[in-house]
Structure 1
Amino acid sequence: MSDQVDAPPQVLFVCVHNAGRSQMAAAFLTHLAGERVRVRSAGSAPADQVNPAVVEAMAERGIDISAEIPKVLTADAVQASDVVITMGCGDACPIFPGKRYEDWVLDDPAGQGVEAVRPIRDAIETRVRALISDLASAPADTAIK
């Protein structure tokens, strides 16, 4: 069994449909931090597929999320995470003591074209880069190694 202190921090991104914001955030964190962070995403009411405009906007950044499938939010996913970032899911996310929670207020790309998704994508990338910096300087139990 691996030592928990040496394990990478686990981040969960949550939005309603897990078809836009949380998918972009998870993809950026995976792309930028690699194996230094374990990344999950989920939705409180998952859609059938990732928003095609989101897939296109991410492809413009060289990140392919076309094979991603929206996943349902579970208490187990929250409990396994060190950091839980919500994006418009309100009170649907269960709260557990000892977890770090953040709520990122971002426009919902649902039903939007790629032109409207681009600024949301860019805002998410900026926040993910800040999160990586923050995790790198965090206490040992949640720091990027």
Structure 2
Amino acid sequence: MKAKVAFICVHNSCRSQMAEALGKLFASDVFESYSAGTELTPQINQDAVRIIKNLYNIDMNKTQKSKLLGDIPPVDIVIKMGCNVVCPYLPGKHIEDWGLDDPSGKSDEEFIKTAKAIEEKVKDLSKRIKNNEINLG
């Protein structure tokens, strides 16, 4: 049975959405990806949507929407994106904070840097789950 991973931040509009998309792209064989926050936004950050489409050919406007923590199933692993304020709380068997800066309102280069950092972290998380380095017992 695959682990369930939630990528969480307050607004569920940028980094957590990028992580959900990249989790589905690079690690769907190892874990199910979800993203959520404590506040809904009318739409996903359109700069994030454009960058993910350009880099990975995924249209997040078609595949994802802003979700609240209660909208996703119980998860095994909780990944906090880096909140600088109070991160939402979601129970999980394993919790980590990736400490990523929010690129919202910044240049495309910042969005690309964030996307590439998330890609590396998703691949690393997948490898650690595969190698049983994360205790989900």
Q: Shared fold by TM > 0.5? A: yes
TM value normalised by structure 2? 0.84
Contact 2:30–2:126 (CA under 8 A) maintained in structure 1: no
In the TM superposition, what is the alpha-carbon distance from 1:142 to its structure 2 partner? 4.3
Residue range with higher mean Cα deviation, 103-112 or 122-131:
103-112
Aligned length: 134
Mapped partners of 2:60, 2:113: distance in 1 = 18
The equivalent of 1:31 in structure 2 is: 25
The equivalent of 1:127 in structure 2 is: 121
In the TM superposition, what is the alpha-carbon distance from 1:111 to its structure 2 partner? 2.1
1:70 to 54, 59, 66: 66
In the TM superposition, what is the alpha-carbon distance from 1:18 to its structure 2 partner? 0.8
Partner SS, residue 39 of structure 1: strand
Mapped partners of 2:133, 2:33: distance in 1 = 19
**Unaligned runs of at least 5 residues, structure 2:** none
The equivalent of 1:94 in structure 2 is: 89
**Larger-Rg structure:** 1
Partner SS, residue 78 of structure 2: strand
1:8 to 2, 11, 19: 2
**Does the alignment pair 1:40 with 2:53?**
no
Mapped partners of 1:103, 1:140: distance in 2 = 14
Partner SS, residue 12 of structure 1: strand
Residue range with higher mean Cα deviation, 44-53 or 7-16:
44-53
In the TM superposition, what is the alpha-carbon distance from 1:109 to its structure 2 partner? 2.1
Deviations 1:97-142 (A, max 9, x none): x610000111102223423211111111111110010111116974
Mapped partners of 1:41, 1:140: distance in 2 = 20
The equivalent of 1:18 in structure 2 is: 12
Mapped partners of 2:6, 2:23: distance in 1 = 10
Contact 2:39–2:68 (CA under 8 A) maintained in structure 1: yes
**Unaligned runs of at least 5 residues, structure 1:** 1-6
RMSD value over aligned CA atoms? 2.4
